[in-house]
A = this chain, B = another copy of it.
Amino acid sequence: MPLRGVEPPHLSAYASETYVYTNFTTAAKNLERVEGIGPSPRDWKSLVLPLNYTRIVGDTGFEPATSRSQTVRANQLRQSPVPLAGIEPTRLLRPQDFKSCVYTNFTTAALVSILYNQILLFPMTQPKFFETLSGEKIPLPVFFPDATRAVLKTLDSTDIKNTQTPGILVNSFHLLSNPGKDVIKSFGGIKKYMNWNGAVISDSGGFQVMSLAKTLGGKNSVTDIGVNFKTDGKKILFTPEISIKTQLAFKTDMIVVLDDFTDPKSNLTEAKDSVRRTLLWAENCKKIFEANTKSWPKRPYLLGVVQGGRFASLRKTCTRELVNIGFDGLGYGGWPMNLKGSFDHKSADIIRQNTPDSYFLYGLGIGKPQDITSLVKSSWHIFDCVLPTRDARHNRLYVRKNASSLDYSYYIPDKSIHFLDKNPISRFCDCHLCQNYSRSYLAHLFRIKEMTALRLATIHNLRFYSELMRKLRHV
């Protein structure tokens, strides 16, 4: 995170419920150093040190050290610290940042100071951008479709760009076998290899390796060292080190630790073991990442992955321990559906509640527009999923119900129904398909199994998602 002044990992330490906020001098120095115009240590001494307040991050917001009797309402706070020259107040200070927060024993000046320097400027605010290694800032939230093997099925990189999709996800494991790490490295990274100028996240390959390990490697395929499996008759050991080094060779903008996937059917003992190993590997990954990026002028983001399955306590532990190791963001790992088959919001909430606001929250492999929407409303930022592209290849196109709506329905091209239908797939869509071809023609292409149909539908669905994310940035 390009947070000027106080660095997120440092601030993340404040996320503990009982943490007493006493290190203000350090914070002040950091601020001063960076800002140049920040409050002097003397100001801080007089204003902030006496406060001796306790802060709880999460749902609860701020709490006084003493009683809850004196309340400053969020909408009052919003007025006091502004105008902040050059900084847009609403983006820095939103009602949800102050949800239920209560302050006491603060002088106005101290309060303003804290708000301005600690909360408004950076630490407590959520990330607003996903910044690529080349410095492009992509507004959040973002959805990155899956280009598993360095190609987004049916499209080329110009197509992706034209759908206004800002980034893609590639899969380390798949690329490791084809075309191979050395090939991509020789090109200077995955972006140059596939001639894609947007953002790229590489996943660790953990999910795929785990599936393969289970089917190919047998029962005891996962050890603390890594994942053992056989492919093409060869024994393979896939480790945190291999995963991180592969991803670093890809020169992607965000890389993901290797985690031990918790099977949704795991019992508590099994889930605990997966969390233990996930944390062990996360720590390894962090070390390997640090060691290998020391000389980099700019590092990619490093994402930790929270496991723990359906067990709230495990999700919480895993989240907190990952925060202690220190990452740029956390991913919602494992299977995001509960045993009843509906989206597991509870786990998502636990992760969010135990993660510093400055972290990216990444819904790995998520998902459906409604799931993304609800996660964005709970402050999640990044999503990837095969859904829009796979749906497109299986005749399912997303059509919003009106120009401004987030609601949508599926449009299924059907020649017998859309025989003479000259309308575009959606009149609320500006994609290449909707601007150029009729429902009748698309249905014809699907009926004759012409691959152009798959490409056009994929373009449409990706444009639906990029527009969804644009809308969600203003929700």
Of all chain B residues, which has the CB nearest A436? B195
Asked if B419 contacts A183 (CB within 8 A), the reply is yes
Asked if A454 contacts B451 (CB within 8 A), the reply is yes
Query: Which of B150, B178, B436, B452 is the one whose CB lies under 8 Å from A153?
Result: B452
Task: Mark each residue of chain A from 159 to 203: 1 if its CB lies under 8 Å from any CB of chain B, else 0.
Answer: 000000000000000000011101100110000011100000000
Which 5 A/B pairs are nearest by Cβ-Cβ distance? A179-B444, A451-B451, A195-B436, A151-B450, A149-B448
User: Within A442-462, which residues are at the interface with B (CB < 8 Å)?
Assistant: 444-445, 447-448, 450-452, 454-456
- Chain A residues near B (Cβ < 8 Å): 149-151, 153-158, 178-180, 182-183, 186-187, 193-195, 415, 419-420, 422, 432, 436-438, 440-441, 444-445, 447-448, 450-452, 454-456
Query: Which of B154, B180, B437, B447 is the one whose CB lies under 8 Å from A451?
Result: B154
Return chain B residues, CB-CB under 8 Å to A450.
Answer: 149, 151, 153
Asked if A437 contacts B195 (CB within 8 A), the reply is yes
Of all chain B residues, which has the CB nearest A148? B448
A contact patch SS: helix
Query: Which of B182, B195, B436 is the one whose CB lies under 8 Å from A156?
Result: B436
Return chain B residues, CB-CB under 8 Å to A178.
Answer: 415, 444, 447-448
Return chain B residues, CB-CB under 8 Å to A440.
Answer: 179, 183, 187, 193
Asked if A156 contacts B456 (CB within 8 A), the reply is yes
Asked if A438 contacts B187 (CB within 8 A), the reply is yes
**How many whole Å from A240's CB to the nearest CB in chain B?**
26
**How many whole Å from A464's CB to the nearest CB in chain B?**
18
